[in-house]
Amino acid sequence: MVKVIEKEGKKFIWDQVRKKELVYQPEEYQRQRLVEILHNKYGYPLGLFSLESGLQVGKMKKRYDLMVFNSDGNPRLLAECKSESVKIDNNALLQLSHYNSKINAPVLILFNGRDLYCWAKNEKEEYQQLADIPPYSSKYC
């Protein structure tokens, strides 16, 4: 369960990857929920997560929400998180696709706390939608 802390009338979220408290934001809450799901349910090691790091997409500097690497340091999963009030639509998919044009992760996730969509590359190197997130021990990772 995501740890929400209240101090002096302000809410904070404990980030178990970066090991620090962050000011509560609805999108951050969903990002931390996805970290918990990936780690606890699907076996993704916390030490291989990267959160909110920068990347260059064309001439623009962007920040992805969540990436997980394999033990060789190669990207295995890229996720875009939205707050629960934000509908996952084609704009979110386009944003994830733009980021992945630089990263080339074999597993992609869109998550807003209510809806979760996952795609993975098949043998033909084409993305296909999956019914569930592949475990870290799967062929995708």
Instruction: Supply the pLDDT for residue 89.
Output: 96
The total number of structural domains in the chain stands at 1
Task: Print the domain residue range for 48.
Answer: 25-130
Q: Is residue 115 a part of any domain in this protein? A: yes
Instruction: Supply the pLDDT for residue 76.
Output: 96
Q: Is residue 40 a part of any domain in this protein? A: yes
The dihedral through the CA atoms of 116, 121, 123, 125 has a sign that is positive
CATH of the domain at 99: 3.90.320.10
Q: Is residue 15 a part of any domain in this protein? A: no
Q: Is residue 48 a part of any domain in this protein? A: yes
Q: What gap in Å lies between CA 4 and CA 63, rounded to an integer?
A: 24
Convert the pLDDT of each residue in 84-105 to its tens digit.
999 999 999 999 999 999 999 9
Q: Is residue 135 a part of any domain in this protein? A: no
Instruction: Supply the pLDDT for residue 1.
Output: 87
pTM of the model: 0.93
Q: Is residue 61 a part of any domain in this protein? A: yes
Convert the pLDDT of each residue in 27-72 to its tens digit.
999 999 999 999 999 999 999 999 998 888 778 888 999 999 999 9
Q: What gap in Å lies between CA 3 and CA 106, rounded to an integer?
A: 30
Structure tokens at 105: 């992760």
Q: Is residue 119 a part of any domain in this protein? A: yes
Q: Is residue 89 a part of any domain in this protein? A: yes
